[in-house]
């Protein structure tokens, strides 16, 4: 059994949870990584999960005062860590 802790992903956030972007999984193709950074998903940026509909539907996130919908095919490659600022 692998005891190494897996990093948390954007897709794993619960509704109302806020975390900071910590990076991207190496498996995410570069064009997607660039596009996400254009949207504001930069390392250290706070991200809040606003909506987690069922049945695998895209989830809704707030980053940089903008709202985005991402499906699991992308959100599972965005790595997050607990936000350092509790007021985020």
Name the pairing type of β-strands 78-82 and 66-70. unpaired
Higher per-residue pLDDT: 73 or 83: 73
Confidence of residue 83 (pLDDT cuts 50, 70, 90): confident
To which H or E segment does residue 66 belong? strand 66-70
How far is the C-alpha of 6 from the C-alpha of 51, rounded, in Å? 23
Whole-number pLDDT of residue 2: 47
What is the per-residue pLDDT across 19-74, written as a single tens digit (0 to 9) for each?
Answer: 999 999 999 999 999 999 999 999 999 999 999 998 889 999 999 899 999 999 99
How far is the C-alpha of 7 from the C-alpha of 20, rounded, in Å? 12
How far is the C-alpha of 14 from the C-alpha of 59, rounded, in Å? 10
Domains of the chain are 12-82 (2.30.30.90)
Does residue 85 register a pLDDT over 60? Answer: no
To which H or E segment does residue 75 belong? helix 72-75
**What is the CB neighbour count within 10 angstroms for residue 29?**
10
Whole-number pLDDT of residue 86: 46
């Amino acid at each position: 059994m692998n005891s190494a802790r897996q990093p948390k992903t954007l897709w794993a956030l619960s509704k109302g949870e806020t975390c900071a972007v910590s990076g991207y999984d190496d498996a995410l193709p570069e064009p997607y990584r660039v596009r996400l950074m254009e949207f504001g998903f930069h390392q250290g940026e706070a991200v809040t999960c606003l909506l987690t509909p069922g049945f695998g539907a895209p989830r809704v996130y707030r980053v940089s005062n903008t709202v985005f919908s991402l499906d699991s095919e992308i959100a599972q490659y965005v790595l997050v860590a607990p936000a350092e600022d509790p007021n985020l």
